[in-house]
Structure 1
Amino acid sequence: MAQPISLKSPTMHSQFTPKFIPKLASTLHSVHSNTISFKVLSSQAGDSSPQSPPAIISILRMIPDWADALKEQGMQRKRTLYNHEDWLQHRSSQRHIRHLLSSLSSRVILSLIPPVTAFTLVAVMIASYNTAVLMEWLPEFFPVLRTSSLPYQLTAPALALLLVFRTEASYSRFQEGRQIWVKVIAGVDDFARQVISTVESNEDSALKKVLLEYIMAFPVALKCHVTYGSDIGQDLRNRIEGDDLAMILESKHRPRCIIEFISQSLRLLNLEESKRNVLESNLSCFHEGISTCEQLIGIPIPLSYTRLTSRFLVLWHLTLPVILWDDCHWIVVPATFISAASLFCIEEVGVLIEEPFPMLALDELCNLVRENIQEAIRTEKAIGRHLLAKRKSPIHEQSPNGRPKHKTERRNRS
């Protein structure tokens, strides 16, 4: 009786980065050291000795894993906010040359090495087969693989529309994610400003400080909630007290836990009910941010649309060498390469921006809102002391040159 196949192979993770592409050859050469044990279906009992698959199979498995690992490393890279110098470089007339020279370090391009290479090899095989048939190296009953280009002329607009709609749908999700984070950051900033200006009692100073720390911690918790690979414990270690941080880490939903800290802190403040209600109304922005972010993460573009685009692209490039053979002959190889690299890049960009939050500079946004709130606290104290000192000083007027003119000065002139 045939025994079921049991295939076990060690998980191979790539540590490559675009700057170390030459190491790929040495890594592929070392793939022979990975032992892959499996049982072969056989009618002979006792024949279950481990064997190694051919090297070509191991290499074919290694390349997609390497490309995916490279893409994920790029997804987890922290983005930065643009400043004036970045915008100058962004619109520079030399950007085209710079982008072309940096192609080999683009994670989008490098992640497409497996499919583009596969379709290019298919074009090479079809061109080789047709050449062998035309040179009469094969028996006469082998036909030349050729056909009319009319089907491609008819279906090319459909493929273009698929790619355009796919990319447009992905960009709309990116735009929605960006807008909700702009709203959350603005809500956090405004909430902190209201707390700073509303809570004036000295007996609430300690609770006010803790409340501001909770408010500043919320965007960090939301960022860790919606991005893969984030370490909320590390990000909040110097922002939240140890016992509070322990309770947040134990919670199943960290952003809502911080909202509960904020809500209960507001109830403990010695405030009028109307002022407390105004402060609590700011929490609706936090809940809206959580709900929108979770919907963007949990509900992708309809999978049937993504699968249709992918299948259309695959079938298109598998048959492209046959369509172009009569007009291009061996030029079908570079033509297939250019077509696959271009169209699959467009589709890949759509897939990447479909998940918007890794594309946004959320770490810098969280740091920026924290710096703004801390600056507001320092400014509020400094301006308060300045105005208090001015209130206690003698009455003065402004002279034409902007300097104060006291009563004694005016009396002497009179």
Structure 2
Amino acid sequence: MIKYNPKKWFSLIFQFHRSDTFRILLPSMILIGLYTAGFTYLELEVVEWRDGATTTVHSLLGIVLGLVLVFRTNSAYDRWWEGRKLWGALINETRNMAMKIQAFLPEDDLHNRQFFSKYITNYVYAMKGHLRGKINLAELELMQELPLQELEKAKHVPNIIATAIYIKCNQLYRRQLISGDQFIILDKEVKALTDIVGACERIKNTPIPYSYSLFMKKFIFIYTMTMPLGFITSFQYWTIPVVMFVFYVLVSIELIAEEIEEPFGVDSNDLPMEEMALRIKHNVREILSNTHRSLVTGH
């Protein structure tokens, strides 16, 4: 995700990056310009058709196209923002879970604190990789409770890690290291993690309906390809840059919507999941550390 200062708007005008739509669309804009130039030359110099065209049809269709693009952009941004809220909830849930484990476990139980410190972090990194379609097992801190061979064969690694956390909580209850009420509290925290990954999967696995996406692309293509028919009489050879600019604006909106509607990828405008996962890792370790407990208890 690109970080920037929105108040420095003048410098942003001349800033280019790898996801900038102008750079991506430049080859297509050149083709559209060549097509429009050939069409304009044919009409003005060969056919000599200098009257009779009108921009009325394109003006009316432009209103409809604008409304459709607004809905398209809003629906894509809603998916991006929902993904951000879910990762914000993940940050809060992991903190809550770590704080409750720190309070519930006996003061000298360092092994179980270490387990939860590693496995809460493992869940977050596994969730990040799961949403991107490939999990980097090197990011996970494994213990004897969860061997690497089991994770390599798993199709849903976050579920495996959540199950290991559930088993550990149940063991703590059976050994009477935590009470029944505390076990129920931890059960809700683990359930919240599963609910979050499920909601993220809903966004990832439910794209914009195919018919709607196909209609948008066809509408934009037909609209821009027929623009010379309506604009040549009024703009003549100025029709070339006008059509190129309109094509750039319309297709850019569609490209931006396509990028942000899938917020869990690695594009420039996708969610900074690496940064948020690292923040969770530091927060959980700090909460479950002995230093943090000594500050609270005064020992």
Common fold: TM-score over 0.5? yes
Letter in 2 for 1:380: H
1:162 aligns with 2:64: no
The residue number in structure 2 matching 1:283 is: 190
1:108 aligns with 2:14: no
Of residues 100, 114, 118 in structure 1, which corresponds to 2:31? 118
Bigger CA drift: 163-172 or 148-157? 148-157
Number of matched pairs: 289
Q: 1:145 to 1:320 in 2, by over 3 A?
A: farther
State the distance in 2 between where 1:104 and 1:338 align: 19
The residue number in structure 2 matching 1:90 is: 6
State the distance in 2 between where 1:114 and 1:145 align: 32
Letter in 1 for 2:214: R
The residue number in structure 1 matching 2:143 is: 241
Letter in 2 for 1:234: A
1:381 aligns with 2:293: yes
State the distance in 1 between where 2:190 and 2:212 align: 37
Q: Which runs of 5+ in 1 are unaligned?
A: 1-78, 136-142, 389-414
Q: Which has the higher helix share?
A: 2
Task: Map 1:1-16 to 2 at 5 A.
Answer: none
The C-alpha deviation readout for 1:33-89, integer Å capped at 9, x for no partner, is xxxxxxxxxxxxxxxxxxxxxxxxxxxxxxxxxxxxxxxxxxxxxx36x6xxx5xx3
State the distance in 1 between where 2:159 and 2:17 align: 42
Of residues 89, 111, 122 in structure 2, which corresponds to 1:183? 89
State the distance in 2 between where 1:145 and 1:367 align: 64
The C-alpha deviation readout for 1:127-181, integer Å capped at 9, x for no partner, is 121233157xxxxxxx679622221122111010011000011011111111111
Task: Map 1:186-335 to 2 at 5 A.
Answer: 186-200=92-106, 202=108, 204-228=109-133, 230-236=134-140, 239-241=141-143, 244-269=147-172, 270-335=177-242
Identical residues among aligned pairs (%): 21
The C-alpha deviation readout for 1:217-256, integer Å capped at 9, x for no partner, is 111111101125x4421322xx223763332232110000
Letter in 2 for 1:188: T
Letter in 2 for 1:329: Q
State the distance in 2 between where 1:330 and 1:104 align: 31
State the distance in 1 between where 2:70 and 2:207 align: 17
Contact 1:189–1:373, Cα closer than 8 Å, also in 2: yes
| RMSD value, Cα | 2.2
The C-alpha deviation readout for 1:75-111, integer Å capped at 9, x for no partner, is xxxx36x6xxx5xx3323xx32x22222364443222
SS at match of 1:360: coil
Contact 1:166–1:350, Cα closer than 8 Å, also in 2: yes
Of residues 360, 379, 382 in structure 1, which corresponds to 2:271? 360
Contact 1:146–1:325, Cα closer than 8 Å, also in 2: no
The residue number in structure 2 matching 1:153 is: 59
Task: Select the structure with the greater relative contact order (CA < 8 A; seq sep ≥ 6).
Answer: 2
SS at match of 2:288: helix
SS at match of 1:282: helix
State the distance in 2 between where 1:103 and 1:320 align: 28
State the distance in 2 between where 1:163 and 1:174 align: 17
Contact 1:133–1:144, Cα closer than 8 Å, also in 2: no
Contact 2:93–2:189, Cα closer than 8 Å, also in 1: yes
State the distance in 2 between where 1:354 and 1:337 align: 26
SS at match of 1:240: coil
Q: TM-score, normalised by structure 1?
A: 0.65
Contact 1:192–1:373, Cα closer than 8 Å, also in 2: yes
Q: 1:259 to 1:347 in 2, by over 3 A?
A: same
SS at match of 2:226: helix
The residue number in structure 2 matching 1:34 is: none
Letter in 1 for 2:94: V
SS at match of 2:106: coil
1:349 aligns with 2:284: no
Letter in 2 for 1:208: R
Letter in 1 for 2:6: H
State the distance in 2 between where 1:338 and 1:307 align: 22
Contact 2:126–2:135, Cα closer than 8 Å, also in 1: no
Q: 1:273 to 1:209 in 2, by over 3 A?
A: same
Letter in 2 for 1:309: M
Contact 2:90–2:196, Cα closer than 8 Å, also in 1: yes
Q: Which runs of 5+ in 2 are unaligned?
A: none
